[in-house]
Structure 1
Amino acid sequence: MTTPHSYVSPIPVRKAHLGDALASEWTKIRSLRSTMWTLGVMVLLMLGVGLAVAAIVSSSNAPTENESALGLGFFGVLLGSICVITLGVLTIASEYGTGMIRTTLTACPSRARVLTAKAIVFFLLVFTITTVTATLVGLAQVAMVANAAEPTSGQWLRATVGVGLFMAELGLLALAVGAVVRHSAGAITIMIGVLLLPLVAAMFMFSESLAKVQEWLLDYAIPSQLIALYAGRSAMGQSGPSGWDPVWILLVITAAAGAGAYALLNSRDV
C-alpha cells in the first residue's frame, strides 16, 4: 500500500551490476579524443616503423636465414608501448584531474566495480587493436624479407597474441599506477621510467661489484622481455625470461600493482 501523494516510477528499478559499469566505461573510453590519438599513433608506429625496418633489412641483403622476420616488429611495438602507457594512465588519472571521478563514483558507489570495469574495457580494447596490428605487420614483414627463416606456429602466436597480451598488461600496469598516483603527468613519468630506466641504468654499471645487478637489469628490463617474447629465448642469450615468460612475469607485476590500487582506492577520499 502506497502513502498518499507518493510517486511510483513506471520504469522498472533494478540493482546496478558490473555490466552497467562496463557499458559506462566503454562509452567514456570511446568518446575521449585521447583514446583515438594514443591508439591511432600506436597503430601508425607499429605499421610505419615495422614496415620501414623490414624494407631496410630486405634491401640490405643482410644474412637472415636463421632468424624470422617477425622479430623486426619489436621496434614499432616498443615505441607504441609509450602510447599504451599514456592511455592507461589517462583512463583513470584524467578523471581525478577534471573532477569527473566524483560523478563516476556517485553513479557507481562501488569503487572496486568502477576500477574493474575500467580494467576490463581497457584490456580488451588494447589487446584487440594490438593483436590485429601486430598480425598485419607480421604478415607484411614475412612477405617483404624473403630470405628470412619461415616462422613457426609458436613464433606467430607469440608475435601476435603474445604481443597483444604483453601490451595490454603493460597498459593495465599504467592504469594501476594512475589510480595510485592520481596525477596524469606524474604517473606517465613513473611509467616511462619503469619502461626505460632499468636498461639505461644497466648501461652505466661498469663496476665488477655491480655485474650481477647489471645482468639482472639487462635480462628483466621491459625492452629485453619484449625481445625475448619475439625471439623465444633470453634477450641476453643466457639467463633471463624466454618464450612466454615475459607475459607471466608482467602479469604478476600488474596483479600486484592492481591489488595496491584497489586497496588505496577503497581507503582514500575522492
Structure 2
Amino acid sequence: MSTPQPPMPQAAPAWQAAPGSAYPTYTSPIPVVRTHLGHAISSEWTKIRSVRSTMWTLGVFLLLVVGIGLLVALLVAAKSGDADLSGENPLSFGVFGLLLGSICLITLGVLTTASEYGTGMIRTTMVACPSRGRVLAAKAVVFFAVAFTVSLLSVGLVAFADAALLDGARQPSGMEWLKGTFGISLYLALLGLLSLAVGSVIRHSAGAITIMIGLVLAPLVIALFMFSESLDRVRTALFEYSIPNQLSVFYSNSLTRSGPSGWDPLWIMAGVTAVVFAGAWLLLERRDV
C-alpha cells in the first residue's frame, strides 16, 4: 500500500485576515486614483458636448447674433447715403442680435443643471461624485468656457464685419473694441452662468427659463408703461439697470443719461451671479437630491 501524501499548502486568499488583525483585508487589483476637480470637469465636458440641446442652443445663438448683426449692418450701409454715420460706433449695430441671442445662453445655462433633475440623472452624477460642490463648480467652469468662447467668436465676427461694411462710420477706439468684443462676451457668459445657478436652485427647466427671461425683458417692458410722474424714479431705475440697457452701455449707448457706464454692467452682473451661485452652492449641500 502506498503511503498517503500530506496536502500541499495553499496560498491564503486575499480577503484573509492579516496576522494580528481581527478583520479581513482586501487589496483591489484596480489602481485607486484620488479624484479631483479635473475629473469632474472632464465628465461635465463630455455631457455638454454630447447632448443635442447644446448644439441647438449654440447654433441658434450664432444664427441670431451673426445673422441679425450682419443684416442690420447691410441695411444701414444701404441707407448710408441718406444719413450721417460719422458719429456712429459701427460696433453698436451688433447689439440687436445679442439681445435675442442671450436667451439661447440663458436656456443652455438652465439646462446644464436643471435638466438632470428632470431626467433623474442627477442621482447618478452625485453617486459618481459625492462632492456636490465640486459637481456644481465643474458645471460652472465648463459652461462659462463654452459660453465665453462662442460669444467672443460670434461678437468678434460681427464687429469686424460691421467696421468693414460701414465705411462712413468713425473708427472705434481701442477701448471700444475691447468693450464691444471681450467685455460684452464676458457679460453674456456671466448671464448664462447666472441662469445655471438659478436652474440649480429651482431644479425645474421651464420655471428657471421663465424666471430668467422675465429678468431680461420684464424691467424694460414694465418701465415703458409707467406713465405716472410719481413713478418717475422707479421708471428711470428700471431703464438704467435693465439688461438691454446694460448691453448697450458696452457700445457707449444708453437709454438714460444716468446709471451704469463704462465697465459697470460687468461688475453688476458679476456681483449678482456670485451671490446667486453661493446660494445655489449652499442649497445643493443641504437639500436632498
The TM-score, its normalising length taken from structure 2, stands at 0.90
Indicate which of 175, 181, 184 corresponds to 2:205.
Answer: 184
Who is 1:36 aligned against? 55
CA apart distance, 1:188: 0.3
Aligned to 1:15, the other structure's residue is in SS state coil
Who is 2:196 aligned against? 175
Separation in structure 1 between the aligned mates of residue 256 and residue 218 of structure 2, nearest angstrom:
21
Separation in structure 1 between the aligned mates of residue 198 and residue 33 of structure 2, nearest angstrom:
34
Establish whether residue 25 from structure 1 lines up as the match of residue 37 from structure 2: no
Match runs of 1:34-113 below 5 Å:
34-61=53-80, 62-113=83-134
Separation in structure 2 between the aligned mates of residue 7 and residue 262 of structure 1, nearest angstrom:
36
Query: Contact 2:240/2:256 (CA < 8 Å) preserved in 1?
Result: no
Establish whether residue 252 from structure 1 lines up as the match of residue 279 from structure 2: no
What whole-Å deviation, never above 9, does each CA across 1:188-229 have from its counterpart, x for those lacking one?
000000000000000011111110000000000000000011
Separation in structure 1 between the aligned mates of residue 153 and residue 181 of structure 2, nearest angstrom:
7
Separation in structure 1 between the aligned mates of residue 50 and residue 73 of structure 2, nearest angstrom:
35
Letter in 2 for 1:3: W
Query: Contact 2:69/2:96 (CA < 8 Å) preserved in 1?
Result: yes
More helix by share: 1
Establish whether residue 211 from structure 1 lines up as the match of residue 223 from structure 2: no
Establish whether residue 243 from structure 1 lines up as the match of residue 262 from structure 2: yes
Who is 1:229 aligned against? 250
Separation in structure 2 between the aligned mates of residue 243 and residue 145 of structure 1, nearest angstrom:
24
CA apart distance, 1:10: 3.0
What whole-Å deviation, never above 9, does each CA across 1:14-46 have from its counterpart, x for those lacking one?
221100000000000000100000011101111
Letter in 1 for 2:73: A
Separation in structure 1 between the aligned mates of residue 61 and residue 255 of structure 2, nearest angstrom:
27
CA apart distance, 1:8: 2.9
Separation in structure 1 between the aligned mates of residue 50 and residue 173 of structure 2, nearest angstrom:
39
Who is 1:202 aligned against? 223
Query: Contact 2:91/2:159 (CA < 8 Å) preserved in 1?
Result: yes
Fraction of identical pairs, as percent = 58
Establish whether residue 12 from structure 1 lines up as the match of residue 31 from structure 2: yes
Root-mean-square deviation over aligned CA pairs:
1.4
Aligned to 1:230, the other structure's residue is in SS state coil
What whole-Å deviation, never above 9, does each CA across 1:57-110 have from its counterpart, x for those lacking one?
000112211111100010111110000000000000000000000000000011
Which stretches of structure 1, 4 residues or more, deviate above 2 A after TM superposition? Answer: 1-11
Structure 2: unaligned runs, 5 residues or longer = 1-11, 17-23
Structure 1: unaligned runs, 5 residues or longer = none
Separation in structure 1 between the aligned mates of residue 287 and residue 26 of structure 2, nearest angstrom:
36
Query: Contact 2:110/2:195 (CA < 8 Å) preserved in 1?
Result: yes
Mean Cα displacement is larger for which, 3-12 or 103-112? 3-12
